[in-house]
């Protein structure tokens, strides 16, 4: 650029000088455009780099955890009519729920940082968008599935409590009748004793 300017200053006025001046002006404009584009590109890279690092960190951590937790969901025991079994299953689900809530910030980071990366970068936009969308959807599906499991477990526990409350007096009555029958001994021809035994059974049933 400096050599061209020096040449232009030493050139005699005329068509050749005018042509040289036009070429120099064009080169200078193109050079300034390159410098501006380079500066803008460097600024985009500077902005995108930390966002990309945060995104990669979040998605790299969330992915394996999602796979592991999906396996836990698939391996849950079925709900059965046993309070001990249901309570044990409920405790397992509660611990997984706590783990799901613990990883929500990573889910939110993947969603937010992917949007920043997509906005700031030109390459791999579709890949990042698809990858982030898949991770977020998998997390949300797990969250919904365990919420449903928790609700069903609570409903079953409530029903089992109601059933046990209904059965408790029946069990006590059965025990009283069993005890009354055991105390009577064998049936005899003694009418008075048989009548007494029958009265005792009626009392036990009441």
pLDDT above 90 coverage of the chain, percent = 30
Cα separations in angstroms, 41 against 15, 31, 93, 118, 132: 39, 15, 49, 15, 25
pTM for this entry: 0.62
Q: CA nearest 50: which of 62, 58, 40? A: 58
pLDDT digits (tens, 9 = 90+) for 81-125: 888 889 999 999 999 999 999 999 999 999 988 887 877 776 678
Asked if residue 75 has pLDDT above 70, the reply is yes
């Amino acid at each position: 650029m400096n050599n061209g300017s020096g040449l232009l200053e030493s050139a005699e006025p005329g068509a050749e000088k005018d042509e040289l001046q036009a070429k120099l002006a064009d080169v200078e404009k193109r050079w300034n455009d390159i410098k501006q584009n380079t500066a803008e590109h460097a600024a985009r890279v500077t902005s995108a780099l930390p966002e990309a690092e945060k995104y990669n960190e979040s998605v790299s951590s969330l992915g394996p955890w999602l796979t592991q937790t999906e396996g836990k969901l698939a391996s849950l025991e079925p709900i059965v009519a046993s309070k001990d079994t249901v309570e044990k299953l409920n405790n397992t689900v509660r611990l997984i729920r706590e783990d799901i809530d613990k990883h929500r910030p990573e889910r939110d980071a993947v969603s937010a940082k992917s949007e920043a990366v997509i906005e700031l970068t030109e390459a791999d936009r579709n890949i990042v968008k698809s990858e982030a969308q898949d991770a977020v959807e998998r997390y949300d599906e797990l969250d919904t599935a365990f919420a449903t499991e928790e609700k069903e477990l609570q409903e079953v526990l409530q029903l089992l409590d109601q059933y046990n409350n209904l059965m408790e007096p029946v069990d006590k009555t059965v025990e009283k009748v069993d005890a009354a029958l055991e105390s009577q001994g064998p049936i005899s021809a003694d009418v008075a004793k048989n009548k007494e035994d029958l009265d005792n059974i009626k009392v036990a049933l009441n």
